[in-house]
Structure 1
Amino acid sequence: MGAIAYTLQIFFDFAGYSDMAIGLGRMFGFHFLENFKYPYISKSISEFWRRWHISLQTWFKDYIYIPLGGSRVNSKARLVFNIFVVWFLTGVWHGANWTFIVWGLMYFVLLIFEKFFHMDEKMGKFKNLYTMFFVMMGWVLFRSDSLSAALVYIRSMFGFGCKGFMDAYVIQYFKQYILYFIMGILCCFPIFKNINRIFKKNMVYNLLYVVCMCGILYLSIIFIFSNAYNPFIYFNF
């Protein structure tokens, strides 16, 4: 439950931060590209990184990967080296902690397996589950204070070193936050975007849309004032 909650939190934090920047920039005449394109619907790790933090990956591609030779190299060893450098530096970019470096190298290994062994294609109908499993494991590493803490957490997720599948706290949190989980998961999919595209020319729909957006803004302001100071995760980077 903690891993799922952080998976949702970091997406809405990073994507929300970027959307606010895009909207505020447009008010001043600047047009920034979309930075997160529903990454959790990805069916491979490669697709995930084409949808997640697009501006960062574009920078690493343009200023690190391509100058190293990119994929236009004479040997597979050189290609592996180029990919390794990019993902090692991606980990280092996020922080001077072994958790970030291992997180980056985890994606290096997964991308190599997809590129040379087509691991994602072998998953068949379970491509999305395979992708999200490793993404969530990666977020455990990303969130943990140390590698040992990450290992303990992951062990507990699979039933090692803990008693039972759940306890009273899990049930309590589940009942308290079930609506947040449902809405968070739904908003990871382009459901509302597709509905908006279909009905955007309908006047009644547009009116309801404005009312709903104002209601969400009102609720968001209430939550901000009712909760303790909680800055964007992205401020750490």
Structure 2
Amino acid sequence: MASAAMQEEQVKLLGLWFSPFVRRVEWALKFKGIEYEYVEEDLTNKSSLLLTSNPVHKKVPVLLHNGNPIVESLVIIEYIDENWKQNPILPQDPHERAKARFWANFIEQKITEAMRTALVTQGEQQEKVVKELKEAMEVLEGEAAAKLNDKTLFFGGKNGLGYVDIVLGWICNWVEVIEEVGGFKVLDPQKQPHIHKWMANFVEVPLIKPTLLPKEKMVVCFQMVRQAHLGLAAKK
């Protein structure tokens, strides 16, 4: 339950409904019990607030805390964790915290970015990225096999959800859609059983389940994203 002091703080999140990066930040805020105002952005007609808050990249998510902007989802999550001490997201032990950051960066660089590239490419370029994605998933499966068991359901360990879970959580709702739209397959229950078991547990977490998006609506949206990028690439 948010304290009175927390309620007095002004917390605003600039987002986009289908962005996995925005959803991560929402999960972190909900995990901490922080009250916030959500502002949906139109990236085809960006608000002056977004442009002034994130003048470098001009994209979401942007967290405004008492008017001060913080950008980039991983940076925002760490800021939330450092500023609001209840329900820690990152491990308290320095070594475990460093490992969590390593795996979060691995997920971001080897899976999240590659999945986005696979969505908007085709032919040999897409095949190369999908091959790299499958290799990255195998590495992550190895970590999941070592970390997770019947008693430890999440990467956060015995305390439940943690940093790696929040960073990786988007795959539960987005990967199937991106695979369908992009015409490729990365996740395989036979090859990544521990990741799939983790996914099944993650989507049942009470604070996560209500935030999952309808597949049909997402398919339409990502089809438009793919077509737009392929159209631009064809003109070059």
Q: Which has the higher strand share?
A: 2
Of Structure 1 and Structure 2, the greater helix share is in 1
Question: What is the TM-score with the length of structure 2 in the denominator?
Answer: 0.33
Q: Which protein has the larger Cα radius of gyration, Structure 1 or Structure 2?
A: 1
For normalisation by structure 1, the TM-score amounts to 0.33
Q: Which has the higher contact order (CA 8 A, sep 6+)?
A: 1
